[in-house]
Structure 1
Amino acid sequence: MEQPSTSDLAHALLSAPGWARVGLTAPRDTLRLAAAKELALHVQTLIDGEDSLPDPRQTSLPF
């Protein structure tokens, strides 16, 4: 398996959910851990090439 580039990792981190990025600075250990797990999952999903899969927890809104 090829190692992701620095720019790939940067894109993955910046495209992660905002709550997870902000959650890394939360005062509670449990929230920081949940945020770190979400970021890791998001990065792994992008590395594995599954970027197009919708989040099953996200409801779709009609236009």
Structure 2
Amino acid sequence: MQTPDPSYVAHSILTAPAWARLGITMADPRMRERAAEELALAIVERLDQPPAIYDASQIPLPL
């Protein structure tokens, strides 16, 4: 398995749902577990859908 770019993982964490990012700091163990699962899901979804590579030689078309 290829090692993901740390900045890409960090971006995935920062764009995860806010409740999950806050939830990992809660005292309730069940809430922490649910939040950790949601963060992991957000990271995995991002890794499965890598960002499109921008090609500067392509002309953008207005839609």
TM range (shorter): 0.7 to 0.9
Q: 1:8: Cα distance to partner?
A: 0.3
Name the counterpart of 2:44. 44
Gapped regions of structure 2 (runs ≥ 5): 52-63
Q: How does 1:1-63 map to 2 (within 5 A)?
A: 1-49=1-49
Cα offsets for 1:2-49 (capped at 9, x unmatched): 321011011000000000000001110000000000000000000001
- Identity between Structure 1 and Structure 2 (%): 41
Amino acid at match of 2:48: D
TM-score (norm: length of structure 1): 0.74
Compared with structure 1, are the counterparts of its residues 30 and 50 closer, same or farther at alpha carbon in structure 2 (3 Å cutoff)? farther
Cα root mean square deviation, aligned: 1.6
TM-score (norm: length of structure 2): 0.74
How many residues of Structure 1 are paired with residues of Structure 2 in the alignment?
A: 51
Q: Stretches of 4+ moved more than 3 A in 1?
A: none
